[in-house]
Structure 1
């Protein structure tokens, strides 16, 4: 059975013709090969292999009508030609150019219309460079910001609408913010805060609605503070609290013995 990958076709679906290729002389020199390393082929891997062996030709393909050809060529072209590609209509081309340019060129892509570009940009920027991206419309961009930003920037995301972002914030923000985060409506966010709180501060979470938070509390507060959890509705929390406090079930009272007549 023949599949598309077994064929050599260009970006318009036409069969590749080596005889009409402007670089057909490379074939005899072993610098290109049909279905393996070909600048006419529509598959990125074959384009990649071609430019790996013929870097000097990459500059002349930055304006090619096929986005994949432009994107692959951008990885090998002369760097000073790449800034113009930051305005390319295809996001793959824009990122391919941006990743080879100095960081200052990435700043203009913080508001790129495509989320994948903004995600990649956020993954390489840091600190104040990330500040404008803390209000990005895409939750995953903001998650990346929360992972990379300095703790001083994280208060901007404490009330983020996405719980995944707030969880990242809870893991890294300054401890002075944990008491506020411990009141978050999402149990997993509160749990992340609880894991970083001192045993003394955890006492405020003894009655938390989420059993996982109460379990964290039961595992770390002083044993004599565990009384409110000895009869917890969750069996795991209850068992841990009783085990740590040395609680034992009262022995069942035996009925008094009737005196003999």
Structure 2
């Protein structure tokens, strides 16, 4: 009985009021095992309990798309038919709009590209394809730009080579190729240049061989050809010079065999 009482005390609605099955319009479902106070309940304020309810009773989600508690609307939108979701494109709660962006066909979420909330625009960037992502490369929020950079066409990423946010440029460096990647060898952030050093072809690493940052030179030493290794063998950082010498010795041994 004590454990049951504790569950009852934990079962509160979104306004902090205690819940009772007797007050619920779904009381008849309890006997069928489709809801359970404290674990599977649409009237509860806890996200997991509401989600558990809709997992078992997805056919009821449509009834709750206009519920006053935003968590209920979010989870109802997660489980309801997508044909009902366009009505929520203008929902006042960003979490609801983000859920709509994740579930509606990408062709229907265009209006949310200019949503005032970054989390909604991130959800949009995670869904759009091709040229539709290009406007988000200049979004005011760097998190949106990161999401767009990870999916935008490679030829569009030239617009992001000089993004003011280092994390965005790192994402760019992980995707671009050829001359565009080589251009990023001049990036002001050493961690961007490390990524460039890890991805450029062996023969294109020379510009990074004399980099001011030891992390960049170490990345070069891991991949460079003999000519660059010969220079790095005299690097003032022992770890770099040792790596360069070791690789040169291995290359010489292999050549003799």
User: Under TM normalisation by the shorter chain, which class is it?
Assistant: 0.7 to 0.9
Match of 1:177 in 2: 180
Indicate conservation of the 8 Å contact 2:142/2:168, yes or no.
Answer: yes
Greater Rg over alpha carbons, structure: 1
Of residues 7-16 and 213-222 in structure 1, the stretch that sits farther from structure 2 once superposed is 213-222
Match of 1:212 in 2: 215
SS of residue matched to 2:205:
helix
> How far off is 1:124 after superposition?
2.4
The structure with more helix, counted as a fraction of residues: 2
TM-score for the superposition, normalised by structure 2: 0.84
SS of residue matched to 1:148:
coil
Structure 1 pair 124–6 and aligned structure 2 pair: CA distance change class (3 A)? farther
Where does the alignment leave 5 or more consecutive residues of structure 2 unmatched?
Answer: 250-257
> How far off is 1:176 after superposition?
1.2
Structure 1 pair 235–162 and aligned structure 2 pair: CA distance change class (3 A)? same
**Cα separation, 1, equivalents of 2:8 and 2:245:** 64
SS of residue matched to 1:81:
helix
TM-score for the superposition, normalised by structure 1: 0.83
**Cα separation, 2, equivalents of 1:133 and 1:5:** 47
**Cα separation, 2, equivalents of 1:210 and 1:137:** 30
Match of 1:18 in 2: 21
The Cα RMSD (Å) is 2.4
Q: What per-residue deviation string (whole Å, max 9, x for no partner) do you get for residues 18-54 of structure 1?
A: 2232233323343322212222211222222323333
Indicate conservation of the 8 Å contact 1:67/1:90, yes or no.
Answer: yes
**Cα separation, 2, equivalents of 1:244 and 1:11:** 64
Indicate conservation of the 8 Å contact 1:11/1:41, yes or no.
Answer: yes
Match of 2:171 among 168, 173, 179: 168
Between the two proteins, the alignment pairs up a number of residues equal to: 246
Where does the alignment leave 5 or more consecutive residues of structure 1 unmatched?
Answer: 247-261
Structure 1 pair 19–154 and aligned structure 2 pair: CA distance change class (3 A)? same
